[in-house]
Structure 1
């Protein structure tokens, strides 16, 4: 698979996949699964070098970060924590030999179970983990250290878990200041302008998160996960509402629609062309929507039923470019050349 053009980085419950559309975003091809078939919660890439990172794991395996320098042909893995399989392999030499297990302790013991989010910016790779914590690598993912300022924050004891537990699910770098990051929200490239979609609607902050305005009016539901911001127009955003926290978590009326605002959430329009309009019960998770920087901007999302949809006209129409994958946990875009 060529490393040039546009590639979707798709993390699933059964490993990582690369979905490539080349320079013209067509003829989509799929490769994978990678990362030993482990659950991959998030992936990111560096457009300058083409390096790809994937993070995941779980209670059984412990947490790991994988790196590929050659567009997925080969992967190296850094184990961060131990899992239940370590106890099993330690007591069963035949099993240890079969899976290639070695007794060297991972650097963070059993202090967390999963990598949940990744962010590469300003030459650093940040890693969000479960239970909520933050790591940083300054050598491209070869080694990691804790960001102690977050772990020791006075408010840590009051953090409340969601349905997936206490996870650090989003890392947003400031586009200009390499020392500033936001945790747990989504943002465009405009300084201090932030958006978030959560269990209580869509919200907008114009002051770096110090205050928030509700921008839910006009949407069919207050509940959902993903939100995406236009690469050049910070007033244009896309989200995919679901029918409710305890009502099934699928599109309202079982008819899929991505909703777009051109005025920062003051008004909304439903975009349905090419999306299933009957018996649609999929869920789109928090990290499973992404966008490219082309003209017009492309928008992509993956579902828990294993489909990936693409719009090459800023949401006006959609096409299914992958199907029958495992549950999609994340979609990110890598653009090169």
Structure 2
């Protein structure tokens, strides 16, 4: 039975120090909590029968706000948030994200929710379908369309990936001026003025499926993430291809050697340590299963120079994929690694992927996983948390 609060609500109970996993699926949201990252308790479902493709956990200002991109077949998409670990939820009456008059567009799906840095409290970014980027200054309650990207002359040539037209990755540097986004399909775009203007930055990333395999834009980049300790270093998981840039996207180099396959969706980076990243390879775009049906995470500790297979605690036979946002890291020491499969299994590692335990099974198709370290006082529901790294 999932734990309940004294008032009977289904939000999780924070202990003196605990860990939170938010799990978005095709049929609702589940929350898992643990005092030690060994034993987990599940709460949910929240938003039953609604799709949850995106989650953001905002832990700035000593508070914890869970934001979810909810997509109802009846009511459409919006962003809902909870400030009490899921006991109650708030949804803006007019919707958190709404295209302005004159754009001739309607929101289809919220693919990404990205809380900004501690130095910009209240700022939250969102990436959506149709391909667009949005910014909130009130903690994710209301968002404004980024017109620089929406009015970009390339927009008419951006396409839809297999799952839809997605602006799915947002990376903001500490200054707030340099912003990278990635989209399927379109590739990586960079802004040097906080999002006012955008330029494609895909040199070295292959688009083998196009007439010109090295176009300026049009790549199907599946996910990007920043190195926490090296300025201008990012990593990318492409539609076939794993890459690194050390100059803010000006040039990308392959780091796929040593992996069993270069296809996949996940790209995670360590919250503190230089050169550490994780991927979850799949065999190929035509066979979206783990190589040899063996589910493994692969980690590099030298920025892609070498890779280590991490399999302890994971199944030898698995035929379900892990989607781009169905994986996350926390900020604990050592860092935790979490992911869920399209078969509804969720796994957690408290030792940076060396060993995994199963948190949940038989959930609906897992679309999004986010994690955070939470410190709380259950008596008055006040919570504090260390900032998670989206991704």
TM-score tier, shorter chain, comes to 0.7 to 0.9
1:282 counterpart residue number: 320
Q: What is the TM-score normalised by the length of structure 1?
A: 0.87
Report the Cα distance in structure 1 between the residues aligned to 2:94 and 2:99, rounded to whole angstroms: 6
- Which of 256, 267, 274 matches 1:216? 256
Listed as ranges, the matches of 1:114-125 within 5 Å are 114-121=109-116, 122-123=120-121, 124-125=123-124
Please report how far the alpha carbon of residue 233 of structure 1 lies from its aligned counterpart in structure 2 after TM superposition. Answer: 1.6
Please report how far the alpha carbon of residue 106 of structure 1 lies from its aligned counterpart in structure 2 after TM superposition. Answer: 6.2
Listed as ranges, the matches of 1:29-108 within 5 Å are 29-47=41-59, 48-57=62-71, 60-78=74-92
Listed as ranges, the matches of 1:52-201 within 5 Å are 52-57=66-71, 60-78=74-92, 111-121=106-116, 122-123=120-121, 124-174=123-173, 176-184=174-182, 185-190=224-229, 191-201=231-241
Q: How far does the alpha carbon of each residue in 1:25-52 deviate from its partner, in whole angstroms, 9 at most, with x for none?
A: 2320111111353101111112231111
In structure 2, stretches of 5+ residues that fail to align are 1-11, 183-223, 376-391
Q: What is the TM-score normalised by the length of structure 2?
A: 0.75
Report the Cα distance in structure 1 between the residues aligned to 2:299 and 2:140, rounded to whole angstroms: 36
1:87 counterpart residue number: none
- Which of 3, 15, 19 matches 2:32? 19
2:296 aligned with 1:257? yes
Q: Which has the higher helix share?
A: 1
2:349 counterpart residue number: 311
Query: Is the contact between residue 136 and residue 145 of structure 1 (CA under 8 Å) also seen in structure 2?
Result: yes
Report the Cα distance in structure 2 between the residues aligned to 1:34 and 1:291, rounded to whole angstroms: 22
2:23 aligned with 1:7? no
In structure 1, stretches of 5+ residues that fail to align are 83-104
Q: How far does the alpha carbon of each residue in 1:71-103 deviate from its partner, in whole angstroms, 9 at most, with x for none?
A: 100001136679xxxxxxxxxxxxxxxxxxxxx
Please report how far the alpha carbon of residue 196 of structure 1 lies from its aligned counterpart in structure 2 after TM superposition. Answer: 0.9
Query: Is the contact between residue 167 and residue 181 of structure 2 (CA under 8 Å) also seen in structure 1?
Result: yes
Query: Is the contact between residue 302 and residue 308 of structure 1 (CA under 8 Å) also seen in structure 2?
Result: yes
C-alpha change, 1:76 and 1:36, in structure 2 (3 Å) is farther
Q: How far does the alpha carbon of each residue in 1:272-326 deviate from its partner, in whole angstroms, 9 at most, with x for none?
A: 1111113x10110000111112222111111111111111111111111111111
Match of 2:355, SS state, is coil
